[in-house]
Amino acid sequence: MDKAKAQAPRQHAARKGALRLISGVQDGVALSDQAGAISRLAPPDRARAQRLALSVLRNIDRADSLLVQHVSKKPRPEVLDLLRLATVEMLEAGEAPHGAVNAAVGLVRGMGPKGRAAAGMVNAVLRKVSVQGEAWRDLPPEEMPDWLRGSVIAAWGEDVTAKIELAHQNGAPLDLTCKPGLDAPGDPLPTGSFRLRDAGQISNLPGYDSGEWWVQDAAAAMAARVLQPQPEENIVDLCAAPGGKTLQIAASGAHVTAVDISAARLTRLRENLQRCGLSADIVEADALEWQPDTAPHAILLDAPCSATGTIRRHPDLPLIRDGSAVSGLVELQARLIDRAVSMLRPGGRLVFATCSLLPEEGEAQLAAALSRHPELRVEMPDLPGIAPEWITAGGGLRLRPDYWPDLGGMDGFFIARLRKPEAEHRVAG
């Protein structure tokens, strides 16, 4: 065996890992649930496999629009994914065409007799694609799926929708939240988070081992800031895992109880608390059934939702969801709001949040909650960095991926703070 063949498995490890991840997504499995697919790779290859998979998923339709010009019939799924990978490597990531084409040909030859038969086609197609850099740059961003795009257009119009899709195409930098009085690596953002565009290995960043900060998108961090936890308050974080908001509340000096139904996700929360030297009472329970011993001063409810606001970080989401679960999620959110209101002490405050672009999971959910609980009062957010145009007519906070375009965008979120009256309203008999 010659030296090049002996080195091929090592050279192709990250690409093979990326192809496994992409295939898993097409089978309906989220990237976050595919750790086992690349667990045997060395850490650098594992990180590269994830980056490659994310880039392909973020550009899958764009790649297909070029590839279709050069193939007479649709290739087998595994060959098509390989063509997509090489296309994105060359035209998006700037990989040298010679290396990307040779790697793709080597990989397809390793797919057995049918793969070897496709090697010539792969070589010819990718050489044609490799010179289409200008055409690639002229391609529009990936569109959101129809079930989501229609709702976004209805809410904010086609121009905003196009800007949101561009933000999705650009991806997401790394945002960090740090303990009060400390700084995290990166550039400070107007709302108090810190942002890194090229973070590299997260665990190698200064302050990681000493627990000075944790990873959290700037939009997500605003929910706990809107809650404004105070020292010594008793606060409940419902649907808490993986725990970024729990850490924020704990770092404020409040006593926080983190409730979540997922044991696996709570394990991550415990790990984050331990690394950061923070404490919280952790409860594995269904938030609809759990009851605190004493009524809390405040509750943060980051409710289960469609997660459509996170596509810039999770480009696999449009490929694994079809919108069919939204109505059930809206119903669950309403039940969770009612449950939170019932456990909150008089005068207490509730922050409801969803990482969704859909008004039915945000603006409409707030309006419905107020119709069921007319005694509640909406408190408009007044925090550093919040632009007036982010505040909705109903007093909520609507965050969108197209905001902060010069800074790298943010996740889509809806956040509202509600205040329970000091004394329960009584109906006169």
For residue 133, pLDDT over 90 is answered with yes
Domain-located, residue 369: yes
Count of structural domains within the chain = 2
Residue 335 dihedral angles phi and psi, to the nearest 5°: -65, -40
Residues 227 and 129 in one domain: no
Q: Which of 83, 113, 138 is the last residue of a domain?
A: 138
How large is the average pLDDT for residues 389-407? Answer: 97
* H/E segment holding residue 44: helix 43-58
Give SS3 for 247: helix
The CATH number of whichever domain residue 50 belongs to comes to 1.10.940.10
Contacts of 53 (CB under 8 A, 6+ apart): 17, 18, 21, 22, 25, 31
Q: Report which residue type is found at 187.
A: D
Model confidence pLDDT, tens digit, residues 340-382: 999 999 999 999 999 999 999 999 999 999 999 999 999 988 8
CA 169 to chain centre: 14
How large is the average pLDDT for residues 193-207? Answer: 89
Domain-located, residue 281: yes
For residue 7, pLDDT over 80 is answered with no
Q: Show the DSSP H helices in 185-262 as ranges.
A: 218-227, 244-251
Cα distances (angstroms) measured from residue 152 to each of 70, 358, 359: 34, 7, 8
pLDDT at 423: 72
How large is the average pLDDT for residues 221-247? Answer: 96
Instruction: Give the structural domain span for 74.
Output: 3-138
Residues 336 and 257 in one domain: yes
Domain-located, residue 429: no
pLDDT over 70 percentage in the chain: 96
Domain-located, residue 427: no
Q: Report which residue type is found at 325.
A: A
Domain-located, residue 153: no
Residues 207 and 278 in one domain: yes
Domain-located, residue 148: no
Q: How many CB atoms lie within 10 A of CB 185?
A: 18
pLDDT, mean over the chain:
94
* Ramachandran sector of residue 210 (left: φ over 0; alpha: ψ -120 to 50; beta: rest): alpha
Domain-located, residue 296: yes
Domain-located, residue 151: no
* H/E segment holding residue 109: helix 97-109
CA 133 to chain centre: 29
How large is the average pLDDT for residues 86-95? Answer: 96
Model confidence pLDDT, tens digit, residues 37-52: 999 999 889 999 999 9
- Angle, CA of 154, 220 and 356, to the nearest 5°: 25
pLDDT at 406: 95
How large is the average pLDDT for residues 209-236? Answer: 97
Residues 131 and 217 in one domain: no
pLDDT at 427: 44
Q: Which of 91, 117, 138 is the last residue of a domain?
A: 138
pLDDT at 9: 56
Is 276 in the active site?
Answer: no
How would residue 170 be classed by pLDDT, with cut points 50, 70 and 90? very high
- C-alpha 305/C-alpha 325 separation (Å) is 9
How would residue 11 be classed by pLDDT, with cut points 50, 70 and 90? low
How would residue 203 be classed by pLDDT, with cut points 50, 70 and 90? confident
Model confidence pLDDT, tens digit, residues 321-346: 999 999 999 999 999 999 999 999 99
- C-alpha 120/C-alpha 130 separation (Å) is 15
pLDDT at 199: 77
The CATH number of whichever domain residue 226 belongs to comes to 3.40.50.150
For residue 284, pLDDT over 90 is answered with yes
Residues 291 and 401 in one domain: yes
How would residue 183 be classed by pLDDT, with cut points 50, 70 and 90? very high
How large is the average pLDDT for residues 374-400? Answer: 95
pLDDT at 106: 95
pLDDT at 297: 98
- C-alpha 318/C-alpha 299 separation (Å) is 31
- Kindly name the residue from 239, 276, 305, 355 that is annotated as catalytic: 355
How would residue 429 be classed by pLDDT, with cut points 50, 70 and 90? very low
- C-alpha 215/C-alpha 194 separation (Å) is 10
CA 392 to chain centre: 23
Question: Among candidates 99, 82, 81, which has minimal Cα distance to 90?
Answer: 99
Residues 194 and 133 in one domain: no
